[in-house]
Amino acid sequence: MEEPIVRNKTAIQGILSTDPQYILDKVFEIKLITRRDYINLRSIEKGTAEDHVTNLVDNLIFKGRQAEFVNVLQCDDVLETFPQLRDLDWEHTGSTVSSSTDISQGDPSSSQSLSSDADANEEPVFHEQQEYYTLRFNPRGTCLVINNEHFFGGGLKDRSGTQQDEESLRCVFGMLGFQVEVHSDLTAGRIRSVLEDLGKRSFITADVLVVCVLSHGDKECVFGTDGLKVALGDMQRPFTSERAPTLAGKPKVFFIQACQGSNLQRGFVPCPPRPQEQGPSRGSLEEDAGPLPAELVAEDADFLMGMSTVQDCKSFRNTSTGSIFIQELCRQLLVSAKRPDDLLSTLTRVNREVNKGDYLNSKQTPQPMYTLTKKLVLTEMTIVEH
């Protein structure tokens, strides 16, 4: 039988939107939501009031707290604040709207039962919860891929082979339980607007955000197809806790395939590479480089920026098989999904394997930069569409 919250969802959201902070405080007071949920939901000034009420209702539905939420909506003080709730269809709830209904002052056994259920909703402090990010949603989140292949500005060449990177990322992150979205050939302005739009979404029912950018680049920036730069900090900024409160405490992972300068890395302990370390045998190597100067990267908690190369140096891409970094990253993510390993262990192996290669008589060293506060483990998952 359909739950009354689901049946009346649109009407409830409209009514509660007249005072969203009140209902948020109420459900937090009786512990229907956790402190982290409350912090994520309380920035009412971000977006419309109805957006935030919708996020709250979706959160309670997902957690299976509909029956308790019905009791909240039938409290005397809640009905006094939102008298329109009396007119809704509450049939089959097992309770009726009554002036004597009050969770905080009513039937002691009812209040005790609700408190007990709510306590179970608080996230217990286990060792694993302190060490690992919690992954409980299906799908796990969004993986956004920005793939710039064709350039018309700044004297930048087209990036042959980048379609292989796009396909590998689509396949691997799909297998890891992400909904993959791809945007191709974006100018600098469009890169910013796509990321800004993504940051405005609700991430209440998401565990992780992944953003992959495949383009030309220089120090601390990537290039749009118009040859204009986008600073790495500008790409991160829409997803900070202040700008995207429903991502607070959740990992935001960026993978950047782009040069970070014009220097070539030298190998200081030369040795003859084994045949499999000679690099790709088909196509040719190119550099994802560009001519523009640097900007600083903004830092914040729970970010990981996986760079294809260290600052000031070039990053290589095979015109037939894809970039050295992205292809190795995808291989190692598949290995880690079965072990399982945390993401930083995965990236350490990526560093090691890429370092083995010889690319135009030069070396390449990827570089993870992070403010993660826990370990992130990504295993295989079959996406269930809701």
pLDDT in tens, 266-286: 655 444 444 444 444 456 666
Percentage of the chain modeled with pLDDT above 90: 47
Which structure tokens are listed for 286? 């190119």
For 302-353, give the DSSP string: TEEEEESS-TTB--EEETTTEEHHHHHHHHHHHHHHHTT-BHHHHHHHHHHH
- Is the predicted pLDDT of residue 288 greater than 90, yes or no? no
Let me know: does 354 contact 325? Beta carbons within 8 Å. yes
- What is the mean predicted confidence (pLDDT) over 39-45? 60
80 residue type, one letter: E
CA of 287: how far to CAs of 20, 191, 314, in Å? 52, 21, 6
- Is the predicted pLDDT of residue 358 greater than 50, yes or no? yes
pLDDT of residue 220: 92
Any catalytic annotation for residue 216?
yes
Least trusted range by pLDDT, from 9-13, 44-48, 150-154, 174-178: 44-48
Q: Which of the residue ranges 24-38, 272-286, 292-306 has the most confident prediction, judged by mean pLDDT?
A: 24-38
- pLDDT category, 66, cuts 50, 70, 90? confident
The residue from 75, 143, 212, 216 that is catalytic is 216
DSSP 3-state of 85: helix
Let me know: does 307 contact 259? Beta carbons within 8 Å. no
Tens digits of residue pLDDT in 337-349: 988 899 999 999 9
Domain boundaries, the chain: 4-123, 131-370
- Is the predicted pLDDT of residue 100 greater than 80, yes or no? no
pLDDT of residue 105: 38
pLDDT of residue 113: 36
Tens digits of residue pLDDT in 170-212: 999 999 999 999 999 999 999 999 999 999 999 999 999 999 9
Phi-psi map region of 177: left, alpha, beta (phi>0 left; psi -120 to 50 alpha): left
- Is the predicted pLDDT of residue 108 greater than 50, yes or no? no
- pLDDT category, 112, cuts 50, 70, 90? very low
- pLDDT category, 70, cuts 50, 70, 90? confident
- What gap in Å lies between CA 17 and CA 49, rounded to an integer? 5
The residue from 75, 212, 221, 259 that is catalytic is 259
Which structure tokens are listed for 235? 């790409």
- What is the mean predicted confidence (pLDDT) over 57-77? 84
Q: What angle do CA 357, 359, 360 make, to 5 degrees?
A: 150
- What gap in Å lies between CA 97 and CA 110, rounded to an integer? 15
- pLDDT category, 51, cuts 50, 70, 90? confident
Let me know: does 80 contact 87? Beta carbons within 8 Å. no
Q: Is pLDDT larger for residue 336 or for residue 27?
A: 336
pLDDT of residue 109: 36
Q: Is pLDDT larger for residue 77 or for residue 97?
A: 77
CATH of 131-370, one of 1.20.120.1200, 3.40.50.1460, 3.40.50.2300, 1.20.1560.10: 3.40.50.1460
pLDDT of residue 13: 86
138 residue type, one letter: N
pLDDT of residue 107: 39
- Residue 147: CB atoms within 10 Å: 22
pLDDT of residue 282: 54
pLDDT of residue 321: 93
Which residues are CB-neighbours of 41 under 8 A, at least 6 positions away?
Answer: 24, 33, 52, 55, 56, 59, 204, 245, 246
Which structure tokens are listed for 18? 């007249």
- What gap in Å lies between CA 272 and CA 87, rounded to an integer? 80
- What gap in Å lies between CA 210 and CA 199, rounded to an integer? 12
Q: Which of the residue ranges 15-19, 24-28, 140-144, 380-384 has the most confident prediction, judged by mean pLDDT?
A: 140-144
